[in-house]
Amino acid sequence: MGRRALRKIDPAIDLSGHLRTFDQLPRPWDSVSLFGRQAPLEVEVGSGKGLFLRNAAAGRPGTDFLGIEVARKYAWFAAAGLVKAGVKNALVVHGDALRVFQELLPEESLVAVHVYFPDPWWKKRHKRRRVMRDSFLRNVERTLRPGGSLHFWTDVEEYYRTALELLSTQTALVGPLPAPELPAEHDMDYRTHFERRVRKAGAPVHRAEFRKARGTEKAV
């Protein structure tokens, strides 16, 4: 993300309970070995400084949260934030979320996937680097349990439209669902650091939620 320098991480902080590299993830997948229990699992792709991860995990202790962040400094920073907050039901993976979905996460293993402000890759020749691509969206559909949801927020309208088009052509996920009233999640009322920045600049945020149909529901 660039911008302001990150605060230094105290080298005395023990990150071993809150940080994994891609290579350290269990094969075959076993979330009990990561979290020490069987609980519903939500994944955040590109967790940045980790504000969502920290607040969501603290607010919903019955659910486990895995943040996946490809930039080392942000992965370390987010993991340190979890340690400082005393959050036990979240950890950060330093690695490429596309590979975690493609190679490791099993079918119907997640109750939610969160993608907040993914890098837009503005230049035409760079757009194929975008996270919200057809193979990833098919993996989201595969890994969600019936009734599970995908949350996608961006400030880039063109990215929003393109992703929604891909979701409708490449998956049977149902949506975008009518926007819910968003409860304030903490004093700042921002879900992520990037949302804070966008909203402070007065720019609009495009939010979409999709759901995997249960057996009896009809995908539209």
Ligand X SMILES: C[S@@+](CC[C@H](N)C(=O)[O-])C[C@H]1O[C@@H](n2cnc3c(N)ncnc32)[C@H](O)[C@@H]1O
Active-site residues: which are they? 119
71 binds ligand X (CB under 6 A): yes
Q: Taking the complex as a whole, how short is the minimal distance between the CB of residue 123 and ligand X, in angstroms?
A: 16
70 binds ligand X (CB under 6 A): yes
Amino acid at 18: H
Q: What is the DSSP string of 2-62?
A: -SSPPPPPPTTS--TTTEEEGGGS-SS--HHHHHSS---EEEEES-TT-HHHHHHHHH-TT
97 binds ligand X (CB under 6 A): yes
Q: Taking the complex as a whole, how short is the minimal distance between the CB of residue 89 and ligand X, in angstroms?
A: 19
**8 Å CB contact between 149 and 211:** yes
118 binds ligand X (CB under 6 A): yes
Nearest to 158 by CA among 132, 193, 192: 132
119 binds ligand X (CB under 6 A): yes
Looking at beta carbons, which residue is closest to ligand X?
A: 46
Nearer to ligand X among residue 13 and residue 71 (C-beta)? 71
Q: Look at phi and psi of residue 202 and say left if phi exceeds 0, alpha if psi is from -120 to 50, else beta.
A: left
Q: What element of type H or E holds 123?
A: none
Q: Which segment (13-21, 44-52, 84-92, 212-220) binds ligand X by CB under 6 A?
A: 44-52
Question: Could you list the residues that contact ligand X (CB under 6 A)?
Answer: 1, 45-48, 68-71, 74, 96-98, 116-119, 131, 192-195
